[in-house]
Amino acid sequence: MRGVTLTRENPFRTRSVLQLAVISVVIGVSTAFALPFGSLFLTREVGVSPLALGTFMFLSPVASVVASTIIGKLSDTRVQRRRVMILGGLAGLLGYALFAVLRDYWILLAASVTFVAIASSLLPQLFAYGRQLAGESMVVSVLRTLISVAWVAGPPLAALIVSLAGFTGLYVVTALLYALVAGLAATLPDVERAPTLSNEGGGGMLLAATSFTFLQGSTALAVSGLPLFVIEVLRGTEGEAGLVLGLCAALEIPMMLGLGMLARRGDLHRIVLAGGAIAVTYHVTMLLTQNIWHVAALQLLHAAGISAIMGVGISYFQSLAPDRPGHATTVFTNSATAGGMIAGPLLGVAQVLGFRSTYAISFGMCLLGLVLLVVVGVTRRSRPRP
């Protein structure tokens, strides 16, 4: 299929971008089905020990980082990106089909670090394909927003499926969703690949990735600790904790769209820098909260920080290496995975110190990430332009 790149004024009216929007929703729903219930599946259905569960939950994201990195580099040089997306969809189909029918720990672990790890490359490849096809950061913001929308509806729907058809039913549906992704990706056009000219990425990309690891890790820690903080410290209920989390997710949707529009003409570095500053403010004010309504009101800050860091952050990384969108987007998503891996043990530390300390730790991580982000900006401005 001949390579194409969109040049129309409004890319959202094109069939390919609308098709990407559908793929984004399907990927979002499939991940919202599979990821939140993984630990519950392993403990209840497979009957693993705490050590085996920890090993599984550690090795799976590590394998995803490795697979996404390799696939991201290949997609920028040798392999058409839509074919990589087909591969990711088929890998997800095979991986979750095995989860549906097997209950052997070692086979499931092998499926997770191979097929499921390859399927994890779908998100960065989706964002990279959207940017390459449309040449438009707003397209990436819309695709990222659709992922958030899918996560609002996905977990409750997954819980309903588990109650009606068990984990077998859940993973059968998840496998079929990945099959749908592969089918939709197969009908996308190839896109013209720009020649690789920049070498931005070296130290600048590494420093930015380190910054975003701390920024996104602090968010993961704050979100994971929020229900425990509301229930154990503020003496709230599970329902109140759920409402606060849902409020944040709902606020993210219009904010991501608004910041996506701003990113079309604004300075991406300043936007993510402002997001980091807002996030620092959120974490430090959470240390002072005494009532649940305080926490609810502060979700406005939390949603703004998340929208800038995780929404505009994708386009920001793509701007660091515009001729290597696959690699740049993969570095961004890998930083989120690494941040989540750091957040897990730190939540255990917060359990020992008291759950209010969750926000002291997340404040420190976020502040460090913000300082590194400032250094990235200074470094880029001081570097001579080719």
pTM: 0.80
The burial class, CB within 10 Å (0-12 / 13-18 / 19+), for 152 is middle
Place of tokens 């997340």: 362
15-186: CATH number: 1.20.1250.20
Alpha carbon dihedral 210, 152, 33, 232, in 10-degree steps, equals: 70
Fold matches, 15-186 and 202-381: yes
The predicted-structure confidence for 247-279, as pLDDT tens digits, reads as follows 888 888 889 888 888 877 778 899 999 999 999
Residue 37 banded pLDDT, cuts 50, 70, 90: confident
Residue 8 banded pLDDT, cuts 50, 70, 90: very low
Average pLDDT, the chain: 85
Place of tokens 């095979």: 94
DSSP 187-234: TSPPBPPPP----TTHHHHHHHHHHHHHHHHHHHHHHHHHHHIIIIIS
Residue 205 banded pLDDT, cuts 50, 70, 90: confident
Q: Select from 3.40.640.10, 2.30.33.40, 3.40.50.2300, 1.20.1250.20 the CATH code of 202-381.
A: 1.20.1250.20
What share of the chain has pLDDT > 90, as a percent?
35
The predicted-structure confidence for 80-118, as pLDDT tens digits, reads as follows 888 999 999 999 999 999 999 999 999 999 999 999 999
Average pLDDT over residues 178-188: 93
Residue boundaries of the structural domains of the chain: 15-186, 202-381
The predicted-structure confidence for 130-173, as pLDDT tens digits, reads as follows 877 766 667 777 888 888 888 778 888 888 888 899 999 999 99
Which phi and psi (to 5°) does residue 4 adopt?
Answer: -135, 155
DSSP 231-249: IIIS---HHHHHHHHHHHH
